[in-house]
Structure 1
Amino acid sequence: MDEYDVRKKFRQDKIMAIEKLAQLLQCSAITVRRRLKKWKTFTSINQNGRYYTLPEIPEFDDNGLWKYQFALFSKHGNLKQTIIELVKRSEAGLSAADISSIIEIPSSSSYFSQIKQSDEIKREKHQGRFVYFSAAPNKYQLQKRGAERHKTDGWPTDTQAVKILVHIIKNPGIEVDRLAIESALPGERFDPVVVKQFLQFHDLLKKTSDTEP
């Protein structure tokens, strides 16, 4: 296949590994990598960076991530760069568990040891767990204040907060008790009182039922 047909096939499949591209282009892996660089492709931040996608294909979410089948891509760069960017963009810092829930890697991953050495973020113990904050002084102070506002035990993480907000949008007028149950993943439990406090903090309680939790 010529380059035009390969790119057409690439767009149809959305993601491809080097082995498949080498077969289609009938060239070596080294030559394929040159083509990928020329095409400015994104490399998956999971699956050992095995998969690629053309720049016009991903529809990145608010975190700058796009997942197709089993491959996860980031507009921020590689996995380390992505974690750092997520931390820097967060409102109240992120714990390893928070990061893991966003990018689907174990909280015990060696990448967390790597990012500790970064000059762009810092790790501190906060409310009994390690939290990563931006190293930029102004942003750090904002995140610390945000973390203090989330001081209530069981306060939703950034990822959990998104699930709650999405559930409110899909179910306007939902009672707080029901919201606390239905927006939690299997194995999670949201305290209705905390959920109500969270909604009050963001001035969202009016979008749910007045029923007291």
Structure 2
Amino acid sequence: MYRSRALAVLVPSLLAAVLGSGAPAASAAGSGDGGPVPHCLNPEGDDLNALYHVKQRIIGPPACRETFEKAQWVRSAPDWVTAADGASAVYPEGYEPLRIDPIDDFDHKFVSATYVHDIGTPQEKSFTYKRKQVLRTGSVGPDGLPFTALISPPFKALSVGEHTTTVFITLDAEHCDGLGTVREENCLPAGSSVFSDTSFEVVSRPRHDGDHDPDKS
């Protein structure tokens, strides 16, 4: 599975500006121009489009950083992986989970995810979704560890060129994954923090033999 640990907490003033900028709804599902969509494979070779029933191009893993112009796209974030259960979990000193199993603790504390495109530019746009709109729960990896995936609703097409997409998550209490005792590595803070940040490119859709060009009619 495509996994990671969260990035550092964002500077509070910038975070407030991002989360307070409004959140227009993403567009409804659809493939843009109706053409075929390349599927996204994570580093382990899993087909994320098939796994999560996504019709649009997924942006997230290293091999999935390109999408077509005029086509909707979906943002995935690295899976959050925890200890298998409460019995095997280990935590930093003083931490007390609210749910016995660490994966249930994460899902319970998760409030929302905010997706910011082209952060810090005039083209910046922000979208916020609640738990049920983004969390994909109930999965277990080959190593026997449970994980929760974050898969956004579809976003409208962006202009051709380079873009960035940053994911912030908001938790209503601190969460630790049960896999270690180092807070900086194994825990997520209460409030909002950066979870994933990546760049990607929107490219022109390749033409195929036999395509009709109305400008040359």
TM-score by length of 1: 0.22
TM-score by length of 2: 0.22
Q: Looking at both structures, which has the greater relative contact order when contacts are Cα pairs under 8 Å and sequence separation is at least 6?
A: 2
